[in-house]
């Protein structure tokens, strides 16, 4: 049973659920495999899905479904090559690794690294918060397109201002 994970437990956070350390976790610990449904659809997207490359996404099951985003995370996902029993390549396994020593009771977080077109505002409260849930390398692109959108939006307003005669 996946709920028997010794490291993590699901708890409540302000906006839903989160994942917490069940005990002190040393840096580098493999907290387990993210299991779930593998979906082969390049268009597939959801709030929780993990990109496995090519057209594959993983829709995670509990408990790792509840890993929230933080711009300064204490965990990260990594991919392990996997194979079927006959040796042919299978979708990669996704594991969660502790990036730092994590004290019991702390919330576990990862950096979602979303692409700019899926980004939403971030409220993680970290000192290094980027302001958006977005991959660090996509941030300049996001800010540029936001600035363009803001410019566009403000144009009609300027035009509609009555001209003094
Ligand atoms: Zn943030």
Q: Is 80 exceeded by the pLDDT of residue 162? A: no
Tokens read off for 93: 């396994």
Confidence class for position 23, pLDDT limits 50, 70, 90: very high
If you measure from the C-alpha of residue 127 to the centroid of ligand 1, how many angstroms do you get, rounded to a whole number? 8
Tokens read off for 35: 């299991």
Tell me the pLDDT tens digit for each residue of 112-137.
998 898 899 999 999 999 999 999 99
Q: What percent of the chain has pLDDT above 70?
A: 91
Residue 161 vs residue 46, higher pLDDT: 46
Strands, E assignment, the chain: 8-13, 16-21, 30-34, 36-40, 50-51, 56-60, 68-69, 75-83, 89-98, 107-110, 120-121, 132-133
Structural domains in the chain, CATH included, are 2-112 (2.170.270.10), 114-157 (no CATH)
For residue 157, the model assigns a pLDDT of 59
Tell me the pLDDT tens digit for each residue of 61-105.
999 999 999 999 999 999 999 999 999 988 889 999 999 999 999
If you measure from the C-alpha of residue 135 to the centroid of ligand 1, how many angstroms do you get, rounded to a whole number? 11
If you measure from the C-alpha of residue 122 to the centroid of ligand 1, how many angstroms do you get, rounded to a whole number? 5
If you measure from the C-alpha of residue 27 to the centroid of ligand 1, how many angstroms do you get, rounded to a whole number? 22
If you measure from the C-alpha of residue 162 to the centroid of ligand 1, how many angstroms do you get, rounded to a whole number? 41
If you measure from the C-alpha of residue 32 to the centroid of ligand 1, how many angstroms do you get, rounded to a whole number? 25
Alpha carbons 126 and 106: distance in angstroms, whole number: 14
If you measure from the C-alpha of residue 130 to the centroid of ligand 1, how many angstroms do you get, rounded to a whole number? 5
Alpha carbons 44 and 36: distance in angstroms, whole number: 15
Taking alpha carbons only, the member of 14, 7, 64, 57 closest to residue 35 is: 64
For residue 51, the model assigns a pLDDT of 87
pTM reported for the whole predicted model: 0.82
Q: Is the peptide bond before 63 cis (omega within 30 degrees of 0)?
A: yes
CA angle, residues 131, 137, 141, in degrees to nearest 5: 70
């Amino acid at each position: 049973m996946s709920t028997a994970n010794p490291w993590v437990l699901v708890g409540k956070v302000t906006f839903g659920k989160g994942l917490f350390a069940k005990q002190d976790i040393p840096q580098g610990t493999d907290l387990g495999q993210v299991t779930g449904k593998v979906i082969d659809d390049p268009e597939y997207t959801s709030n929780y899905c993990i990109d496995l490359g090519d057209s594959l996404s993983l829709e995670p099951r509990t408990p790792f479904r509840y890993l929230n985003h933080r711009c300064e995370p204490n965990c990260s996902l990594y991919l392990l090559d996997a194979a079927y029993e006959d040796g042919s390549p299978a979708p990669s396994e996704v594991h969660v690794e502790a990036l730092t020593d994590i004290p019991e009771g702390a919330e576990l977080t990862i950096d979602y690294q979303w692409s700019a077109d899926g980004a939403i505002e971030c409220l993680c409260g970290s000192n290094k918060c980027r302001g958006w849930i977005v991959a660090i390398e996509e941030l300049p692109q996001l800010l540029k397109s936001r600035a363009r959108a803001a410019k566009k939006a403000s144009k009609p307003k300027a035009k509609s201002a009555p001209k003094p005669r």
